[in-house]
Chain A
Amino acid sequence: MGIIEYIQLVFSDYTLRTITLGTAILGAVTGMLGSFAVLRKQSLLGDAISHAALPGIALAFLLTGAKDSNVLLIGALISGLIGTLWIRGITRRTHLKSDTALGLILSIFFGFGILLLTYIQKLPDANQAGLDKYLFGQAATLVESDVWLMALVTGLSLVVLLLFWKEFKILLFDKDYAQTLGFNTKFIDFLITTFIVLAIVLGLQTVGVILMSAMLLAPAAAARQWTNSLGMMVFLAAIFGASAGVFGTAISATQNNLSTGPVIVLVASVFVLVSFIFSPNRGLLFKRIRLIKNRNDLELQKTLSFMYHIVEDHDDISHPHAIRILNNFRGYSRKGLRKLVDKNYVKLEGDMWRMTPKGFAVAKNLYNQNGKND
């Protein structure tokens, strides 16, 4: 399928439109809320929650016999929340650190979930249950009501975000201080965590328990690279998440047999990669370029000031000197000398160099500046 054909299909084909809308909304809400998880240094919490949701899905099926995704999602929500509470409890009551608690809960819940899934598969009429789609997600099963539910939760979290913006910000930056100002930090904390759990649970059907945390982290990590403002970060993360959803769906729809969830996650990872390398302030590439440029500038300045010390002792600043005396200076290079000539700080005549008045002025200024404390 070509791109044009695909774009036509998105607008005409009901199923494709539903899936595209669903993954876009999901990407936006997880990106938005993921920013908070990343800034709270609770990146792994998302992973633990999504894995912890699995036994909830299986139990909900065993108890109700329903395949209806909303019933199963309520099961996921409950066991996700229980998992979160246990993580909190373990870190508070024992000496274990949060990474240990996260790892423990993640594997215990996930193991239990897998156990239940295999049990369900052995039940007589269970083949149709298709619960294993919650492992890796299956965007194709999204129906209109799922999208409406996602839109509802997204709208709700947007309202909560706007209302409690300053409370969220101060909790993220300085929890103790927020408490001294009279804010109930436990409540704010509960609010953020609840919405993070909600967003994760919503994504399970599409992306699956194993990859869900990437939806939470990747857009936020990418967004952080481009901005130094919290508002902009949340906004960009939502945009990145939504784009990952749209592009991921497009790629998986045009290339047969590529499952949507993993493709969305891979697209989001590409965003992260590009952001880490190419973002102007924090990106590795420009950091490296700035570093090299600063070093070269400094090297040049050192060469010039070395020459200045030689020139200084003469009445005529343009008196010629042999190039080879520059060899005494460690930082000296032919390339550096050429650059000084290009800048018209120095003139070369055979194996002699002369400082120009311009070079002398610059060097003198440089010397005074570096002599001062700044």
Chain B
Amino acid sequence: MKGKIAVKVDDLTVAYNYKPVLWDIDLQIPEGVLMAIVGPNGAGKSTLIKAILGIIKPIAGSVSIFGKAYTSHRKHVAYVPQKGSVDWDFPTTALDVVMMGTYGSLGWIRRPSTKEKKSALEALEKVGMLSFKNRQISQLSGGQQQRIFLARALVQDASIYFMDEPFQGVDATTEVAIINILKELRKAGKTVIVVHHDLQTVPEYFDWVTFLNVKKIATGPVKEIFNDDNLTKTYGINYKVSIQK
């Protein structure tokens, strides 16, 4: 077990209309883990992230980041939304999107300067997209768009990263590039929380996992809890892990 708790969720309940999407979630995410949130469609994975980030208002429950309320700790947290959540035909360039990652530390009204531009260019280089900096974003491939979103979060230089399906619709090369960046973040002591779909890659990519299906099924180190029992409980079918651990 590692030291500090990065994210602590207590009694979190979220409902759209009448049906609960998340029910009474208690969750403690230790600092420095690379954690996957897995669960079937409609399990509330994205909702959990959005509720933690305050994008969705929960019915009950509380969230704390390093022991404090999230609102006072925003600068420690970066978010990579689902790629499909924005209109990629928006008139702007790759560099400009990455620059948005600096808006939070700039605050209201202040414009980004050369310093912000420099860190945006560095982030673009980290994700291997520097040569595309002036490209109109609609002309990027799905994988490239995902890298741009990742770069935008990297610019924030946060301690905790929430990512909503960063591997969705990307090719094998991009997937490797992204996971390498995530592993680098962990190496630097950051906490990375990823909504993930591909169960096969969980043991290879992550060291921590949360099983979610409206309720929290289990959370802990992949080595200890990523097993048939939890998978069956989460997915409701008799699931066998066909991968060697």
Query: Which of A221-229, A290-298, A307-315 is the interface stretch?
Result: A221-229
Contact A229 B109 (CB under 8 A): no
A35 to chain B minimum Cβ distance, whole angstroms, is 9
Instruction: Let me know if A302 is at the binding interface, CB within 8 A.
Output: no
Q: Check B68 for interface membership: any CB of A closer than 8 A.
A: no
Do A177 and B100 touch across chains, with their CB atoms under 8 A apart?
yes
User: Is A124 on the interface with B (CB-CB < 8 A)?
Assistant: no
B74 on the A face (CB < 8 A)? yes
CB <8 Å contact, B92 and A176: no
Judge whether A183 and B100 touch: CB under 8 Å.
no
| Any B CB within 8 A of the CB of A180 | yes
User: Does chain A have a CB within 8 A of B54?
Assistant: yes
Instruction: Give every chain A residue within 8 A of B103 (Cβ-Cβ).
Output: 166-167, 170, 178, 181, 183
Are A180's CB and B53's CB within 8 A?
yes
Interface 1/0 per residue, A176-190 and B, CB below 8 Å: 111111110000000
Interface residues of B toward A: which range? 20 to 34
Instruction: Name the A residues within 8 Å of B136 (CB-CB).
Output: 228
Answer whether residue A39 sits at the interface, using C-beta atoms and an 8 A cutoff: yes
Bound Cα distance A181, B108 (Å): 11
In the complex, are the beta carbons of A174 and B81 less than 8 A apart? yes
User: Distance (Å) between the CB of B108 and the closest chain A CB?
Assistant: 7
Interface size range of chain A in the complex: 20 to 34
Q: Are B92 and A230 interface neighbours, CB within 8 A? A: yes
Chain B residues whose C-beta falls within 8 Å of the C-beta of A224 in the assembled complex: 91
Partner of B77 from A166, A174, A180 at Cβ < 8 Å: A180
**B70-106: which residues lie under 8 A (CB-CB) from chain A?**
71, 74-75, 77-79, 81, 85-87, 90-93, 97, 100, 103-104, 106
Distance of B61 from chain A, by nearest CB (Å) = 18
Q: Contact check, B50 vs A172: say whether CB atoms are below 8 A apart.
A: no
The answer to whether the Cβ of A163 comes within 8 Å of any Cβ in the partner chain is yes
Shortest CB distance B70–A (Å): 10
Q: Which of B87, B93, B106, B107 contacts A228 (CB 8 A)?
A: B93
Q: What 0/1 readout, one digit per residue, does chain B (46-72) give for beta carbons within 8 Å of chain A?
A: 000010011100000000000000010
Contact A176 B90 (CB under 8 A): no
Tell me if B111 counts as interface (CB < 8 A to partner A). Answer: yes
* Pick from B93, B111, B156: contact of A166, CB under 8 Å: B111
A163 touches B109 (CB 8 A): yes
- Complex: A94 Cα to B50 Cα, angstroms: 22
Residues of B within 8 A of A112 (CB): none
Given the interface pairs A164-B109, A166-B111, the reply to whether A179 lies near B90 with Cβ below 8 Å is: no
Leading 3 A-B pairs by shortest Cβ distance: A181-B104, A228-B136, A180-B79
